Amino acid sequence: MTFKREALRKYFIMGSQNCHRDPNAVLEEALAAGITAFQYREKGTGSLNGKEKLQLGKELRECCRKHNIPFFINDDIELASALEVDGIHVGQDDMPIEEVRTKFPDKIIGLSISTQEELNRSPLDLVDYIGVGPIFATSTKEDSKQTVGLEWIHTIRAQFPNIPIVAIGGIQIENAHSAIEAGADGVSFITAVTEAEDIKEAVNKL
Ligand code: TZP
Ligand code: MG
């Protein structure tokens, strides 16, 4: 799948550990409501492993295929092939981007960037987009870094006018617009959808 930056507009991230009910149902509702990308992030307390992780990944992957939106895997390079993912999102402590790009020349690759130092040492020419955050406070990620604020989006945008940016961390209906105004191409979110009473309304308002 070729990458279009518009795919970052409403980028939903989730794993079974984020859901109070069947993750397939949660994803189906979010897809029907108009999310533009999905990342399978099966990670942290209560998450699945091994065969169960693979099985759920296959199911969620199929949902995305039906709706023709890009399906990303978080970190798990081995599952990337098994799930025929469209893209891979890696953090600073995961496999180096050079290796990911060599292994997957045609896949969409996203990289998390939280500091100027990370920005300086990252081979941005090898990635398709960067995930920038945590913008606001979040309790969803157990090892979350210090919040960087909207200013960080402005700072990166000033240095890289064309790089596709998706904002992450504490993105909710009320603040999503501020990330776009700061220069992000889109917003990514977990609890804004997994904790929503009405997923359709949440995705629409985001
Ligand atoms: N990376 C930085 S913050 C975060 C991740 C995966 C969690 C975002 O979750 P939420 O619920 O949208 O704040
Ligand atoms: Mg990671």
| Residue 167 belongs to domain with CATH number | 3.20.20.70
* Structural domain count of the chain: 1
**Taking each helix axis from N to C terminus, what angle separates 50-67 and 23-33, rounded to the nearest 10 degrees?**
20
Please, which residues have CB within 8 angstroms of residue 205's CB and are 6 or more apart in sequence?
Answer: 173, 176
Residue 171 CB–ligand 1 contact under 6 Å: yes
* Nearest residue (CA) to ligand 1, atom 13: 170
Whole-number pLDDT of residue 145 = 87
Distance from the alpha carbon of residue 150 to the mean position of ligand 1, in angstroms: 15
- Does position 190 have pLDDT exceeding 90, yes or no? yes
Residue 57 CB–ligand 1 contact under 6 Å: no
Name the pTM for this structure.
Answer: 0.98
Tell me which residue range forms the domain holding 130. 5-205
The fraction of the chain above a pLDDT of 90, given in percent, is 97
Residue 64 CB–ligand 1 contact under 6 Å: no
Measured from the CA of 133, which atom of ligand 1 is nearest?
A: 2
Q: Which residues pair with 11 in a beta bridge?
A: 37, 188
- Does position 1 have pLDDT exceeding 90, yes or no? no
Whole-number pLDDT of residue 164 = 98
Distance from the alpha carbon of residue 137 to the mean position of ligand 1, in angstroms: 9
| Backbone angles phi and psi of 106, in degrees to 5 | -105, 0
DSSP-H helix ranges across the chain: 23-33, 50-67, 77-82, 97-103, 116-121, 150-159, 176-181, 191-194, 199-205
Whole-number pLDDT of residue 163 = 98
Q: Tell me the pLDDT band of 124, cut-offs 50, 70 and 90.
A: very high
Structure tokens at 169: 């961390």
Number of neighbours of residue 66 by Cβ within 10 angstroms: 10
Q: Which residues are annotated as a binding site?
A: 39-43, 74-75, 94, 112, 138-141, 170, 190-191
Structure tokens at 176: 């999503």
Residue 169 CB–ligand 1 contact under 6 Å: yes
Best residue for ligand 1 mutational test, from 141, 171, 187 (most atoms within 8 Å of Cβ): 141
d(C-alpha 193, C-alpha 154), whole Å: 26
pLDDT tens for each residue of 25-68: 999 999 999 999 999 999 999 999 999 999 999 999 999 999 99
